[in-house]
Homo-oligomer: A and B are copies of this chain.
Amino acid sequence: MRPDTEDDIGPLSPMPCFDLYAASRSVTAVYRPLLEPLGLTYPQYLVMVVLWQHEESTVREILRELQLDYNTVSPLLKRLETRGLLVRRRRTDDERSVTVALTDEGRDLRERTRHIPDVIGAAMGIDGPTVIKLREILRTITASATAHAAKT
């Protein structure tokens, strides 16, 4: 009784969640060769995007933005710091917090990513209105699923 048109033969067809999973990985796969020359992974790129906007942030703000947790973001930031793209330091006004700031090298890296959004946009093969529609649906799902998970 699931909403299911039989337009495909695979057993995974009636599962929209699988389409989500497959689409997410396929887009990440497009990013990979674009980011590889910069020595960045996709999640690392997302962190850099946040920092290119905010210039300076905290670990907490970054993981909120990425909807991830400390146990994923902490080692990730550690690796980016080792590569010299950012620095972490304890805040003096609240010693629990850690400030994350770009280095010059991290800031400069931005120039080498200018072409990426257009390449991704083209690779996804959907037009502007569809992107808008997709985003609306995806945010509904994320909000609903997150709320569902929270009250369990």
- A residues within 8 Å of B by Cβ? 2-3, 5, 10-12, 14-31, 33, 42, 46, 49-50, 52-54, 65-67, 117, 120-135, 137-146, 148-149, 152
Contact at B17–A141, with CB atoms within 8 Å?
A: no
List of B residues within 8 angstroms of A65 by Cβ? 10-12
Contact at B133–A26, with CB atoms within 8 Å?
A: no
Contact with A16, one of B125, B131, B148 (Cβ below 8 angstroms): B131
Q: How many copies does the complex hold?
A: 2
Contact with A19, one of B22, B54, B120, B139 (Cβ below 8 angstroms): B139
Question: Nearest-CB distance from A96 to chain B (Å)?
Answer: 23
Contact at A27–B19, with CB atoms within 8 Å?
A: no
CA distance A141 to B29 in the complex (A): 12
Question: Nearest-CB distance from A136 to chain B (Å)?
Answer: 9
